[in-house]
Amino acid sequence: MREPDTGLFVDGTWAEGPGRLPVADKYTGEVIAELHVPGPGQVDAAIASAARAGEPLPSGERAAILRRAARLLDEERDTVLARYVAETGFTPADATTELDRTLLIFELCAQEALRLTGEMVPVQAAAGHDDSICFTMRVPVGVVAAITPFNAPLSTVAHKIAPALAAGNAVVLKPAEQTPLCSIVIVRSLLEAGLPERLVQLLPGPGETVGDQLVRHPDVRYITFTGSTEVGRHIRAVSGLARTQLELGSNSPTLLWRDADLEHALPLIVRAGYRKAGQVCTSVQRLLVHEAIADEVTSRLTALVHGIPYGDPRAPGTQVGPLISTAAAQRAETLVGDAVGHGSRLLTGGTRAGAVIAPALLAGLPENALLASEEAFAPVLAIAPIGSIDEAARMANAGRYGLQAGVFCQDLDVAFTFTRRLEMGGVIINDTSSCHPDPMPYGGVKDSGQGVEGPGYAVPDMTESRTILIRHRPPSPD
């Protein structure tokens, strides 16, 4: 695969733009690429080109292109992984997981393209329609804008552009400014797989300019966005009648009930709290532990977290690399300091060197500490004791977010009680809040978003229903 040229793909051309976007290696700080940022005229041109893309491709062709693109990505695996590790600061293991998920998402969307269908409508129930036939077809919405966050530059991009293309749309992609390189690889793979050029446009650049122009444009019919709640709310406010699917922030809880299988649960919790340096929307940030097992969980987790290798993501064995920026690490340091100031005990970690934060574990999470309500997006986990189902549900539901919760519990009655009581888009029994197999519907409630991802849900959602009514005998005059 060739090195990215300008990274700006408009109306079938890798174009030059007036601005520049330097992309740094997140561990070394070295600038590894400088992409071109479009001017306002080029953003308009990209949307206009997408809007002129013409008749949708037949579904079989859409599926074949997605499958070929996945094969090409797989063939370029080593290049993709190296670029991913450099631009994110995540470990090669995190990169591999995400690339494998991306290939699966492309395959699942290819399958959805083939099964996209409408329904028969029993209009004969209405007077005068004995001889009518009515059915619906799913037709593409037209231009889909996809705006993605920095923390999953392969799989989140895939969860947006693969369903958009599977549904027959053209897509304009604006990746996160910190991690735009993986998007270039994905777009190249689609083009090499035979995707007609107008069906994909790639616009690297700042959200406040390029992204903002995109979401305000009246020809954009559907916006699929993953990012912070603040930007999601802004998009809803300025996007007019465009439909939106918004995957937003969280400070996800995971519950350990008194009968939890700790051998099974604790390694999963460590992974879900600290992988990608905690920069996952479903990362375990609040661990609500039944008071009967709180001491045991606290000491076992302290030992596990203390032993997590962190630092250089490319060093063998590293599990936690740097945060996306030094500013993000400073914010995490502040959140830890605030929790300690409110009475939490720092059990391990929490120190900072540049953008690297030592994996932090806290005991006690006062309800007025910022960590209890804000999203940390950092390798920081706080344990809080719970004494009853009521207390656990109240604490889990506190605050503005509602993405996913995990519940480790053997008692089915307790497990089902939590599935009813937790105000979340997903409740995961016997795994963490971060369990996310790609076929499942995935999305939050409250300030965590609206709509769901998952190929079987996103592909139909990125279409419109067209009703066809056929009268095969002229209606009688009465």
* Residues involved in catalysis: 247, 281
**Closest distance of CB 191 from ligand NAD, Å:** 22
**Closest distance of CB 215 from ligand NAD, Å:** 5
Closest CA to 39 of 14, 8, 11, 13: 8
Our CB check for ligand NAD shows the closer of 116 and 422 to be 422
- 224 lines the binding site for ligand NAD (CB under 6 A): no
Our CB check for ligand NAD shows the closer of 151 and 201 to be 151
Encode burial over 202-220: b for 16+ CB neighbours within 10 A, e otherwise.
bbbbebeebbbbbbebeeb
Report d(CA 246, CA 230) in Å as an integer: 11
**Closest distance of CB 169 from ligand NAD, Å:** 19
Q: Concatenated DSSP letters for 111-146?
A: HHHHH----EE-GGGSTT-TTEEEEEEEEE-SEEEE
**Closest distance of CB 444 from ligand NAD, Å:** 6
Closest CA to 63 of 113, 102, 101: 113
Subset of residues 203 to 222 that bind ligand NAD, contact rule: CB under 6 A: 206-208, 211-212, 215
How many residues lie near ligand NAD (CB under 6 A)? Answer: 32
Q: Which of 59, 189, 224, 250 touches ligand NAD (CB under 6 A)?
A: 250
Which string of x and - marks every residue 116-155 that binds ligand NAD (by CB under 6 A)? -------------------------------xxxxxx---
- 88 lines the binding site for ligand NAD (CB under 6 A): no
Report d(CA 426, CA 419) in Å as an integer: 9
Q: Which tokens sit at 205?
A: 């650049």
**Closest distance of CB 238 from ligand NAD, Å:** 8
Q: Concatenated DSSP letters for 438-474?
A: TTS-B--EETTEES-BSHHHHHHHTEEEEEEEEESSP
Q: Give backbone dihedrals phi and psi of 111, rounded to 5 degrees, phi first.
A: -65, -40
- Give SS3 for 223: strand
Considering only the stretches 28-36, 44-52, 226-234, 469-477, report the one whose residues sit in contact with ligand NAD under the rule CB under 6 A: 226-234
Give the CB-nearest residue to ligand NAD: 207
- 228 lines the binding site for ligand NAD (CB under 6 A): yes
Encode burial over 167-180: b for 16+ CB neighbours within 10 A, e otherwise.
bbbbbbbbbbbbbb
250 with 77: CB under 8 angstroms?
no
Subset of residues 187 to 206 that bind ligand NAD, contact rule: CB under 6 A: 206
What DSSP designation does 251 have?
-
Q: What is the sign, positive or negative, of the torsion defined by CA atoms of 9, 205, 214, 183?
A: positive
Q: Which of 174, 221, 276, 352 touches ligand NAD (CB under 6 A)?
A: 174
Report d(CA 325, CA 88) in Å as an integer: 10
Report H helices in 33-153.
Answer: 40-51, 59-75, 77-88, 92-115
**Closest distance of CB 103 from ligand NAD, Å:** 19
Subset of residues 281 to 340 that bind ligand NAD, contact rule: CB under 6 A: 281
Q: What angle do CA 339, 231, 227 make, to 5 degrees?
A: 70
Subset of residues 369 to 428 that bind ligand NAD, contact rule: CB under 6 A: 375, 377, 403
**Closest distance of CB 118 from ligand NAD, Å:** 29
Our CB check for ligand NAD shows the closer of 205 and 313 to be 205
Our CB check for ligand NAD shows the closer of 227 and 350 to be 227
Q: Which of 234, 275, 286, 352 touches ligand NAD (CB under 6 A)?
A: 234
Considering only the stretches 12-20, 136-144, 227-235, 389-397, report the one whose residues sit in contact with ligand NAD under the rule CB under 6 A: 227-235
- 226 lines the binding site for ligand NAD (CB under 6 A): yes
Residues that bind ligand NAD (CB under 6 A): 147-152, 174, 176-177, 206-208, 211-212, 215, 226-228, 231, 234-235, 247-250, 281, 375, 377, 403, 444, 448-449
